[in-house]
Amino acid sequence: MTSTIAHNLVHIDGSFCEGGGQILRNAVALSALLSKPISIPNVRHNRKPPGLRKQHEAGIILAAAICSAETEGVHLSSTSVTFKPGKIELPKILTADPGTAGSTTLLLQVSLPCLLFSSSPTSPSQLTLHGGTNAIQAPQIDYTQHVFLPFMKRHFGLDIALNIIRRGYFPKGGGAVFCSIPSLTEALPPVTLTERGPVHLIRGEARVGGLPFIIAERIKNAACATLIAAAVSPTIIRIDAVRETQEEAFGSGGGILLFAETDNGCVIGGSSVSTKSRDPEEIGKEAAEELLRNLRHDGCVDEHLQDQIIIFIALAKGRSTIKTGPLTDHTITAIKIAEQMTGATFHLQQNPSGFVIISCDGIGYTPSP
């Protein structure tokens, strides 16, 4: 038994392309879902320091709990991980806590694909995630709520409930998020998304916890000024400033999410997280510039959504075609892992003006009875 499993291990180079935590998240999620044992050397090779951090350890442990996996090397600073999945038995009530400001949204990334497919379509899985809700180097929970989940509902019909129990800001964390994830019995449909349409509204929230309200106002005003300076009409800008109570947030911090809504139903985001070393005006300006950059290339998804949806179109049934901006290293990595683990075929058509057409012939994955 052991020798057979070792022989069938899929070996994934942890130093490929972005060489960070995304390789772990996508490979482990697909390993659990497809019952393919994996070995990942050179874990987070391109990060300083390399190896597992608490957040990655918590994510692998969560995935292992979902599929009763055997693991090796899942500890702080480890540079080699083996993950041997068992059977996914759902629904489940699960909790994950890295004990740090590690991102709750990245914990959701590793667990969501596994939890979507179940032999029990009547009961959703319940997932409580602790850590940072508005952390650096990760999507803010607001992005998941206002950009990622609406995409999943509009294009895949997935009604994933998300409730922010308490926000946890960088660097302390301490946040908590509850998710209710439905079970699927059929393959995901393909996605065709090649015409963005004109922007009719830009919404957003600049928010702080444990800081004066004026900080949120300054972030908001800087974002508005940057958008208007780029010839965005003030009549379509709707950005709020919010200060959370002590019960609503742990520690002090802040950030901003902006998202543009188009006539064809696309949602394009731009965001930034506050740190002590940066002025509020810099935070607001950075989020607005990111949004404007993503709008210029005329893609139907932004630079953060493009890599998050790769795993789902690889699992979908039929050909998906999506227009994006220039591919990020995260997206290139996600495509490589999806091809290696699922056998899905991707085709990339790069236009000189900067946009890319991603086509994927998905495998039509359905859960085992």
Listing from the earlier edge strand, what are the strands of the sheet with 70-72? 10-11, 38-41, 80-84, 70-72
The DSSP bridge partners found for residue 320 are 360
Reduce the DSSP state of residue 265 to 3 states and report it: coil
Question: 94: annotated binding-site residue?
Answer: no
Question: 305: annotated binding-site residue?
Answer: yes
The DSSP bridge partners found for residue 318 are 362
Phi, psi of 257, deg, nearest 5? -125, 130
- Distance (Å, rounded) from C-alpha 167 to C-alpha 247? 9
Out of 146, 155, 297, 330, the active site residue is 330
Reduce the DSSP state of residue 223 to 3 states and report it: helix
Is 330 catalytic? The answer is: yes
The DSSP bridge partners found for residue 204 are 239, 258
Whether the CB-CB separation of 369 and 342 falls below 8 Å is answered with: no
Q: Which residues contact 90 (CB under 8 A, 6 or more apart)?
A: 66, 115, 117, 118, 119, 120, 123, 125, 183
**How many H helices and E strands in the chain?**
11, 17
CA dihedral 225, 229, 234, 240 (to 10 degrees): -30
Question: 263: annotated binding-site residue?
Answer: no
Q: Supply 109's token pair.
A: 């990334």
Question: 349: annotated binding-site residue?
Answer: no
Residue ranges of the alpha helices (H) in the chain?
2-7, 21-34, 54-67, 104-116, 141-143, 149-156, 213-229, 280-296, 305-308, 310-315, 329-342
- Distance (Å, rounded) from C-alpha 165 to C-alpha 171? 18
Q: What is the DSSP letter of 121?
A: T
| C-beta neighbour count of 235 within 10 angstroms | 7
| Nearest CA-CA partner of 74 in 64, 95, 60 | 60
Binding residue ranges? 109, 304-308
The annotation places the binding site for ATP at 109, 304-308
Active site residue ranges = 330
